[in-house]
Chain A
Amino acid sequence: METPVLRIDHLTVRYGKTCDYCRNGGELHKNTCPRCKTVWACNDMNVKLYEGEILGIVGESGSGKSTLMKSLFFDFDVTEGSGFLRDFGGGEADIFAQSLQQKKYIKNHLMGMVYQNPMLGLRMDYSSAGNIAEKLIAAGQRSFSGMNERVEELLDAVEILQSRKKEPPKNFSGGMQQRVQISKALANNPAILLLDEVTTGLDLSVQAKVLELIREIRQRFHISIMLVSHDLAVIRMLADRTIVMLDGKIIEQGLTDQILDDPQQPYTQQLVHSLL
């Protein structure tokens, strides 16, 4: 039986105090308890991510996609549930129950995150090289020449000219900022890359570059990727398997072509039939 690189069991992220009604499975209005108004942003989610695969995550705005990604990167606190990484603690240590220091270790060594908004992932006033070096320093790298070499290698991989490495990302276009974010996320060769709407808002030619880059990264580094996207064409092109989320819950998952060509759930059918 294949061991997933990441396994999430019963992940729940809630905002609010909860009441007997919603705690005992009472029906929610979308993701909100009609009695105590507690928001169940992620509700009892089980996810497995395997080595070298791209797992697509689709769903309407507010369905909990970004909450899931940000919880995995420890930006949000998880209310309930556990997560296990194959390469951490022998695959048996719950990552959400770790100390702050261990969580930092996981963020710096085992995972990389690319946010929809580059402002969240980059320091806009630092140089691009400095942004990447920050991640290398956090992982214990101290040699300037070693860092410089790695920064150059990473910028080459995302096709950013070496002559611009000293410029801060605020001078860059949206697509370039995303590529700097990707190179920063890849700095320490993580086993898992979390990509949250990385192509949203980019023009088509830049989007094509980023898609090509994602495909290349998977092939070259054999990395596992979780890819949140609104764009079903992007999901069809890249994802091996796809999860469909609605109101904080996973309502359907399967092979990407099966989800898109033979959707089973009413919401998924609506989503697929809304395609232009």
Chain B
Amino acid sequence: MEKILEIQGLSKDFFLHEQKREIKSCRDISFALDKGGFIGIVGTSGAGKSTVLRCIYRTYLATTGSVIYDSLSYGKLDLVTASERQIIHLRKAEMGYVSQFLSILPRTTARQHVINGALDAGFSYEEASQKAEEMLRYFKLHENLWDIYPNTFSGGEKLRLNLAHAMVKAPRLLLLDEPTASLDNHTKRLVKELLAKLKSEGTSMIGIFHDLEFMEGLCDKVYNISQGTFC
């Protein structure tokens, strides 16, 4: 099976200058993600799950190791050492990151937020508007909510808006950082259905979940991370 992502010996340490302390997060993580595959990561809080995801997305600079991504734009490249401009392009065109938190410009409606995602990816305004509507519908966000500011949305609505924003670019690689935390069972089921649909359409995904039941039938592999290493 062709790999979209190969992670080798990934470690991340944080050095806090004021406290003169080094915090070791994930240690020597290695795994590979098949094209169209879904890997689940579980582990206790503080075990280093999000650190792995953030090192892949380059929000964190990995201390050692490599993250080889098979991109459409540049071929195989190491996300740890790729230039900032390359990362910005990949984030706009190929990679998506979804968390339970919504980060949105003030005075931006749900619809506009998704349109902005599509505009970033290079679509014209008309195409972006059309794609945004498709996505909002796909993620079952009620039409009444499209033209209001999302600050008042429930957790599940915010998450589905985040998913719509990330998926409007049709990323090849989707990173899910505890997207189901704080969701009720009904919304979780809905999100699970939507993720299964994305998977069947070929999106490669890595997700952090607390809920083993949620991952059943969805993830091809599940890794358990404890004290920064896979166990």
Binding site for B on A (CB under 8 A): 2, 50, 53, 204, 207-209, 211-212, 215, 219, 236-238, 240-241, 254-255, 257-258, 261-262, 264-266, 269-270, 273
The minimal Cβ–Cβ distance linking A251 to chain B, given in whole angstroms, is 12
Complex CA–CA separation, A87 to B87 (angstroms): 25
Which B residues are in CB contact (< 8 Å) with A212? 105-108
B59 touches which one: A2, A208, A262, A273 (CB < 8 A)?
A262
Complex CA–CA separation, A261 to B51 (angstroms): 11
Binding site for A on B (CB under 8 A): 14-18, 54, 58-61, 84-85, 87-88, 103, 105-108, 116, 119
Which B residues are in CB contact (< 8 Å) with A254? 61, 84
Q: Which residue of A lies closest to B14 (CB)?
A: A262
Which B residues are in CB contact (< 8 Å) with A236? 103
Is there contact, CB below 8 Å, between A269 and B88? no
The minimal Cβ–Cβ distance linking A77 to chain B, given in whole angstroms, is 31
8 A-B pairs with the lowest CB-CB distances in the bound complex, closest first:
A266-B17, A208-B106, A262-B60, A208-B107, A257-B59, A261-B59, A212-B107, A237-B105
Is there contact, CB below 8 Å, between B119 and A219? yes
Is there contact, CB below 8 Å, between B88 and A240? yes
Is there contact, CB below 8 Å, between A266 and B107? no
Contact A266-B14, Cβ < 8 Å, known A240-B88, A258-B58, A261-B59: no
The minimal Cβ–Cβ distance linking B200 to chain A, given in whole angstroms, is 30
Complex CA–CA separation, A264 to B15 (angstroms): 8
B17 touches which one: A240, A255, A269 (CB < 8 A)?
A269
Which B residues are in CB contact (< 8 Å) with A240? 88
Given contacts A255-B59, A255-B84, A264-B61, 15 further A-B contacts (CB under 8 A): A208-B105, A209-B107, A211-B105, A212-B108, A215-B116, A238-B105, A257-B59, A258-B59, A258-B60, A261-B60, A262-B54, A262-B60, A266-B17, A269-B17, A270-B18
The minimal Cβ–Cβ distance linking B157 to chain A, given in whole angstroms, is 21
The minimal Cβ–Cβ distance linking A229 to chain B, given in whole angstroms, is 14
